[in-house]
Amino acid sequence: MASGLVKNVRDGIRILGRGEITKALNVKAKGFSKTAEEKIKAAGGSIEVI
């Protein structure tokens, strides 16, 4: 949101597992696909469902 990529998040944002993650990310979102969760954690990052 702060970056301006998303204008309206009434329903929240769900993170999907397409692509590759090469750095540890700490991600907060309404939901995560199983693949996204696995990739984020495998790269040393963390997830938080809000």
- The pLDDT score that the predictor gives to residue 49 is 92
Query: Could you list the pLDDT tens digit for every one of the 50 residues in the chain?
Result: 556 666 776 767 888 899 999 999 999 998 999 999 999 999 999 999 98
The domains found in the chain, sorted by start residue, are 14-49 (3.100.10.10)
Q: How far is CA 38 from CA 3, 10, 29, in A?
A: 25, 26, 15
CA angle 31, 48, 3 (to 5 degrees): 80
- pTM of the full structure: 0.75
Q: What's the one-letter identity of residue 18?
A: R
Question: Of the candidates 6, 28, 7, which has an alpha carbon nearest to the alpha carbon of residue 37?
Answer: 28
